Amino acid sequence: MKRPVSKQNKWADHYTRRARQEQYPARSVYKLQELQKRFKLIESGDRVLDLGCAPGSWTLYAAKLVGRNGRVIGIDQHPVKERLPENAETVIGDIFRVEEDGSPILEQTFNVVLSDMAPSTTGRKDVDAARSAELCRAALNLAETLLETGGNFCCKIFTGQDAKPFSEGLKKTFRQVRQFKPQSSRKASKEVFFIGLGKK
């Protein structure tokens, strides 16, 4: 007897199937599509830094948006196996150690910094949320260093007691700060995205 499929699983399956059909390695690409449609984060010709880029969906989509005159660099602890276009590359590295490791991402500045990073989950919501916030703070530290004036920032965070203070902190660096949960996020997910527009 087949187990009934919940509406949530059907929704997730829809995006998973669509990602396969459109040759993206993960359904997360549709979150970036929604973010782009809503906030116009990326423009043609931009230089984009994609933090936690594996398996490569955001890097591939960002490369389409920036076009031939733009550039996308992704960094992750795991290699990206997808074939990337000429205007995109990935490097293996730990975002907590980019200075110690002399990461090539430090050699230039960017118009956009993206982070879809998530911690390895423990099942304890408070622990997972705290680890997610730690990743966001690391992403913001890089954005404060590498983003050009007027640049945009987007990061995923698990909602918890650290989310609001992080959002307030973004206001010191960006002219506008927004919060958004894409429709393509799983409904039970505690993830939201914070968007910083126009680095001061």
Which of 7, 31, 37, 156 is the catalytic position? 156
Tokens 């680890």, residue located: 131
User: Would you give the DSSP letter of residue 80?
Assistant: -
Domains and CATH numbers, the chain: 28-199 (3.40.50.150)
As given in the structure block, the two tokens for residue 60 are 């591939």
CA distance 15 to 135: 26
Residue numbers of the chain with a pLDDT score lower than 50: 1-7
Whole-number pLDDT of residue 5 = 42
The pLDDT of residue 186 is 81
* pLDDT at position 24: 80
pLDDT reported for residue 23: 79
pLDDT digits (tens, 9 = 90+) for 24-37: 877 899 999 999 99
How many other C-beta atoms are found inside a 10 Å radius of the C-beta of residue 20?
A: 12
Q: What is the pLDDT of residues 66-108, one digit of tens each?
A: 999 999 999 999 999 999 999 999 999 999 999 999 999 999 9
How does DSSP classify residue 120?
Answer: P
Q: Where are the beta strands (DSSP E) in the chain?
A: 47-51, 71-76, 88-92, 110-115, 147-158, 174-180, 191-199
pLDDT at residue 169, rounded to an integer: 96
C-beta of residue 156 within 8 angstroms of C-beta of residue 115 = yes
Looking at residue 22, its pLDDT comes to 76
CB 125 within 8 A of CB 190: yes
Contacts of 6 (CB under 8 A, 6+ apart): none
Tell me whether residue 190 is one of the annotated catalytic residues.
no
Distance CA 179, CA 195 (A): 6
SS3 57: helix
